[in-house]
Amino acid sequence: MTYKVMIIDDEPWIVKDLVAMLDWEARGFSIAAVSSDATEAEFLAGKQAPDLILCDIRMPGMSGLELMERLKRRHPGVVFLFMSAYSEFSYAVRAVQLGAFDYLIKPVGTGMLEAALDRVTSALSERNRERAKAAALRNTLLMLELLDGGLPHRAAAGRLAKEALFRPAGGPYRLAIAHADNPHSSERLQERLALLADRLTDDDPAVSLMIGQSGAGKWFALIGRSDRASRIRLSSWRSMRRQFEEEGIALGVSSAFTGLDRIKLHYREAERMARMRWMTGRAGMYIYRAGRSGGALLDFVDRIRMTSHYAELGALLGSVASRCVKEGADPDTIAAIYNETIRQSARLDGWLKEQEVEECSVEELLALYPNPDKLFEELIAAVRKPAGQDGENDSRIVAEVLREIERNYNRRLSLTSIAAKHYINANYLSQLFKQKTGRSFKQHLVETRMAKAAELLQDSGMTLQEISGEVGYDDYFHFSKLFKKYRGISPADLRKMR
């Protein structure tokens, strides 16, 4: 990143020497303006908004200290690096006390200036990181409200303009969601999206972006144009495709849209495309195309419903698994097949009423299974387990399940995997767990996670996204909805009550 610097000294030859002293661009700075008059410098600083001001302390008319005091009221983030003669040392100390970054004793040499600029660069980088974190949190909470609230287009555009400085009011818009292989590479992922943002805005000044974090290793970007008649070009996105692939980043891009009141639909499109890496095993960029769906694979849902015994259901699942992997079915289609299999298994068993079967959302399935092969392997094994049990070890099994939830609540836990571990039918275990505890396996797991999350929200300094990942949810938006459902308050509001 290049920072803008402004050089001010009432001696023009000093200004000239400082400009010529370094290769400023090589050190990450561009000279935005120079001046030998403090009053003129105040005007120029208002226009140029420099990151760093290298300034003499004693100047006629207005001192450097007065200039800093006036500018910091309007631009609190600007860094002042003062220059002073040895006889003015007390002024320099006073400058630091009033908020200056540092001071240099004249005559300023190359080594002295380079060392000071290194310190300034570190400070500006840290400042930008903190600003980016604050902006990302603000944008995340705003996006969550837009997804939950169903605001009319005009109201949503007003909120975006006021709170996120996101100006395009009419669109078109696109949503992008990026997932990283490693949840701990969140900062790198944010940097990649910021680089993409720079390329988009450089290519097209009418483009505006809002970037936020939606989970551990997951970020979103809302892109908009101020000219409704134009399209959002994807050439910059495609130019980074190889970089995304090499760094294990999956980028899902929604179709273009013009109404912010439909943002929830297009967020789902982008999320659906980002999830395609789970199916294909490959990172890269996936762009939503209307009409892309499970198609013929969804016919298997009806065929599953028509099976009459476990052998038939197991054989059909084997065929479904190979077709899904071969044809690259999207996770939504696989979720529909998974849930219908669980329902049909309950019908065949007679252990549960169909309405008592709890469905798994796509988010839950992606959190439970590392890939579709593992999902189908476990599902096929579960439906082939015998349903009947002798009841002798029922209490022991439920106690072991409760202990496993307490120990591993933040890991991949599914009823089918636990049932397979104990060599019993998943539907039988579901009924047994509910009989012994008064609630379903899923309810107990989620309530355990929400209780742990509430403790972390009140007693730790972790961010909301970090807490979401800590209790087993990579997607912060999904976690936030569950938390509000189970605790009656959003995670952000509970954090404010500390």
Q: Which pLDDT belongs to residue 43?
A: 92
Where residue 478 falls among pLDDT bands split at 50, 70, 90?
A: confident
Q: Which pLDDT belongs to residue 4?
A: 93
Q: Does domain 3-128 have CATH number 3.40.50.2300?
A: yes
Is the confidence at residue 477, as pLDDT, over 90?
Answer: no
- The DSSP 8-state label assigned to residue 328 in this structure reads T
Is the confidence at residue 388, as pLDDT, over 80?
Answer: no
Domain residues of the chain, as ranges? 3-128, 150-287, 295-438, 445-496
Query: Are residues 299 and 337 in contact, defined by beta-carbon separation less than 8 angstroms?
Result: no
445-496 fold: Arc Repressor Mutant, subunit A (1.10.10)
CATH architecture of 150-287: 2-Layer Sandwich (3.30)
How many whole angstroms separate alpha carbon 45 and alpha carbon 76?
12
Q: Which pLDDT belongs to residue 116?
A: 93
- Quickly tell me which residue has 């996770």 as its tokens: 331
**Coil, strand or helix at 165:** coil
Q: Which pLDDT belongs to residue 52?
A: 94
**E strand segments, 144-260:** 173-180, 207-215, 218-225, 249-253
Is the confidence at residue 177, as pLDDT, over 70?
Answer: yes
More confident residue, 197 or 441: 441
More confident residue, 97 or 83: 83
Query: Are residues 175 and 274 in contact, defined by beta-carbon separation less than 8 angstroms?
Result: no
How many whole angstroms separate alpha carbon 425 and alpha carbon 52?
67
Is the confidence at residue 302, as pLDDT, over 90?
Answer: no
**Above pLDDT 90, what percent of the chain?**
18
How many whole angstroms separate alpha carbon 123 and alpha carbon 110?
20
Is the confidence at residue 409, as pLDDT, over 70?
Answer: yes
**Above pLDDT 70, what percent of the chain?**
84
Q: What is the pLDDT of residues 130-167, one digit of tens each?
A: 887 787 778 888 888 888 766 777 888 887 887 766 76
Q: What is the pLDDT of residues 203-257, one digit of tens each?
A: 566 677 788 888 777 888 888 876 554 555 566 666 667 777 777 888 888 888 8
Q: Which pLDDT belongs to residue 205?
A: 60
More confident residue, 298 or 295: 298
Q: Which pLDDT belongs to residue 242?
A: 74
* Shared fold status for 3-128 and 445-496: no
Which of 144-158, 181-195, 368-382, 431-445 bottoms out in mean pLDDT, i.e. has the lowest? 181-195
**Coil, strand or helix at 475:** strand
Which of 142-151, 280-289, 293-302, 339-348 bottoms out in mean pLDDT, i.e. has the lowest? 293-302
